[in-house]
Structure 1
Amino acid sequence: MRTNRTLVVVDIENLAGGTEMSPTTALHIRHTLYAEAAIKDTDLVVVASSHRAFLNWGFDWPDRRALVNSGPDGADHALLAVLGEDVPARFDSVVLASGDAIFTDTIAHLGSQGVHVTVAAPASCMARLLRMAAAATIYLPETLIRQDAA
């Protein structure tokens, strides 16, 4: 069944290079991701992070579903749960904004179910097997990572 809907899942800590980010960096990540991945107003966007990082992006990222899950790989596990919510019946495509290898099996499974999956992340943060499991890749600028450190 064609839905013409896209699910966008964002591991903002992966794109920022960690939990330490300013609100300005979070906005830069959002604007860059939306432009590079051609995210539309009709797409369902889910952003996850730890409670610590949420304070820097949560109030400036409108029209999204926010997930907060702390602990080792907390944001990753929250996004994996979303990707397990009967995605093939609800969406034609998924954009995964993360390069973490933990998503590889889930992305491969979604692809085998007919979901077109695009992975978007800086090349230096994108796991090789994740890149291979996706139907398409978008290499985001390396400047997203630790922009605040400059």
Structure 2
Amino acid sequence: MGIGFTNRLAAIMYTRKPAFGRRIVLIDIENIVGGGVLMPEQVQAAQAAIAAAVVPRNDDQVVIACGRFSIDVVGFEWRGPRRLVFRAGMNGADLELLDILETERVGDRFAEIVLVSGDGIFAEVVSRLGLHADVSVASRTESCSRRLRMAAKRVLDIDYDPNAIMEAA
């Protein structure tokens, strides 16, 4: 075996493998409910509205981000497998999701990325990830930034009225 064969073999072994059909769904739940999550009904209604817009698949990797004061309600009320992340402070949930999008190689590991948020802070990373994966944004129509809409390949509208939940409670 010559050195050329070894180099070719190494290139084959470490070539990026396509992420056949894998999908990650990253959710900023506070963006959907319009603020901190205080009641179980908010989580239940948000999950139903998100599922209507982003039809869930059995093999989805779901990541839910929220602030420190929402973690208990979200953690107990969200149904199904998920990874729950939180951070205190202004834009804590956004910063957690940004960290995942920027440091966990999601563009290499997933063929499809769905970001459930309307915050413009994600526009640049969504645009960049769109070069490697199919990136969609799901958001309430009135709370999705124009920059984020333009960065995504597809925008899905979530039908959730934060006032309806508060009035029912």
Q: What's the TM-score bracket when you normalise by the shorter of the two chains? A: over 0.9
Pick the aligned partner of 2:96 from 78, 89, 102.
Answer: 78
Whole-Å separation in 2 of the counterparts to 1:6 and 1:149: 32
Partner of 2:23: 6
Residues 1:23 and 1:8: Cα distance change in structure 2 (over 3 Å):
same
Partner of 1:32: 49
Whole-Å separation in 2 of the counterparts to 1:50 and 1:3: 33
Give the length in aligned residue pairs.
Answer: 148
Instruction: Please state if 1:104 is matched with 2:98.
Output: no
Q: 5+ unaligned residues in a row in structure 2: which ranges?
A: 1-17
Partner of 1:65: 83
1:121-142 CA-to-partner distances (Å, cap 9, x unmatched) read: 1111000010010000111114
Residues 1:46 and 1:70: Cα distance change in structure 2 (over 3 Å):
same
Q: 5+ unaligned residues in a row in structure 1: which ranges?
A: none
TM-score scaled to structure 1, two decimals?
A: 0.93
Higher gyration radius (CA): 2
TM-score scaled to structure 2, two decimals?
A: 0.83
Partner of 1:95: 114
Whether the 8 Å contact between 2:123 and 2:147 is mirrored in structure 1 is yes
Whole-Å separation in 2 of the counterparts to 1:63 and 1:133: 28
Whole-Å separation in 2 of the counterparts to 1:20 and 1:46: 16
CA shift for structure 1 position 28: 1.1
